[in-house]
Each structure stands twice: as structure tokens, then as C-alpha cells.
Amino acid sequence: MQVNEYKPLIVAFCCNWCSYAGADLAGNNRLAYPADVKIIRVPCSCRVNPMFILRAFQRGADGVIICGCHPGDCHYTSGNYYTRRRMAALFSMLDFLGIERERTRVEWVSAAEGAKFAATMNDFAQKVAALGENKRLEDLRCKK
């Protein structure tokens, strides 16, 4: 198997008000990013339960990214502030368990930042692809 043939599977959770609209704008402007990125729409980034992220990894995702409104711009005023704390704690925990830190990311993308959305996804997909397949979260059982 050649490394460059490997296609990572990336799940992107996007808040309805900013980042999902930012992704739409990237589409409107025809700004390409890898088709490996699949977007799930949530009302707010604070709707993303760590369970969803782990479930994605469990089922074979290679990277999970959460996009929300910029801090201070949340449609629900404070949702993304909770996201920020929860994900900081969760990501740090995943890192503690030895899971590659490049597999998870939080990025703030506004409805006007179509270009940032595309650039973020390009960069994230590239970093995740460089790590290769997610084996650690998928296959953790000690197999001797």
C-alpha cells in the first residue's frame, strides 16, 4: 500500500450559525478542500458531546474537527465558551492517553470566513493524512 493513496476520514461538526454558513460560503466561492471531510450540522458547537467524537473515532474516523462561532460571537452568546473548556479538557485527556494530538481540533470559523474554512480543512486533512490511519482509538485492546 502506498502512503499517498491513503484517504483519511474526517468528521467536522459545524455550528449552524457561523461555521456551517462559512462552509457554505466556501462552496459559493468554489474553494476546494478534500472530500474526506464530512460535515455534521449542529445548532451550536456546545452541542457536540465528547461521546460523538469518541464514537466517530471508534467507528473509524481518523480526525475530528469542531467548528463554531468565534468566541464572543456565539449565536447563543456563551455556547462556544463551554465548547472551548470542554474540548480543552477532552483533548488534553486524549493526549494523556497517548492519542495523537493532531487528530482533534477546534477552529472558530465565522459565516464570512469561507476561505478560512477551506484552508482549515485542507490543513487539517493534510495533518491527519500524515499521521496515517487511526489505530490507537480503534484498536486499543492489548493483543499479545
Partner 1 sequence: MQKITREQLIEKASELLANGTVSCVLGWGAGEFGYDVTPTVFKTAEEMKTGFVFSDFCGANFSKYLVAKTQKTEGKILVFLKPCDTYSFNQLLTEHRFDREKVYAVGIPCEGMADISKIKAICGEGISSITAEGDTFIVTTLYDDEPIAIEASAVLAERCVNCKSKKHVAYDELMGEDGDVLDSGRFDEVARLEAMTPDERFAFWQNELSRCIRCNACRDACPACTCEKCVFDNPKSGVENKSPANSFEEKLFHIIRAFHVAGRCTDCGECSRVCPQNIPLHLLNRKFIKDINEFYGDYQAGAEVGSRAPLVNYTTADLEPGEVFNREG
Partner 2 sequence: MQRVGVFVCWCGSNIAGTVDVQAVSEALKNEPGVVFSTNYQYMCSQAGQDMIKNAVKEHRLTGIVVCSCSPRMHEATFRKTAAAAGINPYMVEIANIREQCSWVHKDMLTGTEKAIILGKAAVAKVNLNTPLIPGESPVTKRALVIGGGIAGIQTALDIADAGFPVDIVEKQPTIGGKMAQLDKTFPTLDCAACILTPKMVDVAQNENIRIFSYSEVTEVKGFVGNFDVTIKKKARFVNEDICTGCGACVEKCPMKKVPNEFNLGMDNRHAIYIPFAQAVPKVATIDPNACNMLKNGKCGLCARVCAAGAIDYKQKDQFIEEKYGAIVVATGFNPISMEKFDEYAYSQSKDVITSLEFERLTNAAGPSAGKLIRPSDGKHPHTIVFVQCVGSRCESCAEKGKEYCSKICCMYTAKHAMLTRDKYPDTEVYVFYIDVRTPGKNFDEFYRRAVEEYGVKYVKGMVGKIVPEGDKLKVQASDLIANRQLHIDADLVVLAAAIEPDKSARPLATMLTASMDTNDFFTEAHPKLRPVESPTAGVFLSGACQGPKDIPETVSQAGAAAAKVIGLLAKDKLMGNPCVAQSDELMCNGCSTCANVCPYGAISYEDKEFRMPDRTTKIRRVAAVNPAVCQGCGACTVACPSGAMDLKGFANSQIMAEVDAICK
Interface residues toward partner 1, by CB under 8 A: 50-51, 54-55, 57-58, 71-72, 78, 81-82, 84-101, 104-106, 136-143
Asked if 92 interacts with partner 2 (CB under 8 A), we say no
Q: Which of 44, 66, 109, 125 binds partner 2 (CB under 8 A)?
A: 44
96 binds, among partner 2, partner 1, none (CB under 5 to 8 A by kind): partner 1
Q: Which of 66, 67, 79, 124 binds partner 2 (CB under 8 A)?
A: 79
97 binds, among partner 2, partner 1, none (CB under 5 to 8 A by kind): partner 1
Q: In what order do the strands lie in the sheet with 10-15?
A: 37-42, 10-15, 63-68, 104-108
Give 100-104's long-range contacts (Cβ < 8 A, gap of 24+): 100/131, 100/136, 102/63, 102/127, 102/128, 102/130, 102/131, 103/57, 103/62, 103/63, 103/64, 103/128, 103/131, 103/134, 103/137, 104/53, 104/63, 104/64, 104/65
Q: How many Å apart are CA 36 and CA 96, to the nearest integer?
A: 27
Asked if 94 interacts with partner 2 (CB under 8 A), we say no
Asked if 23 interacts with partner 2 (CB under 8 A), we say yes
Q: Which of 8, 18, 19, 61 binds partner 2 (CB under 8 A)?
A: 61
Q: Which grid cell sits at 121?
A: 480543512
Which residues are at the interface with partner 2 (CB under 8 A)? Answer: 9, 11, 16, 20-21, 23-24, 26-28, 30-33, 35, 38-44, 46-52, 55-56, 59-61, 72-73, 75-79, 82, 86, 118
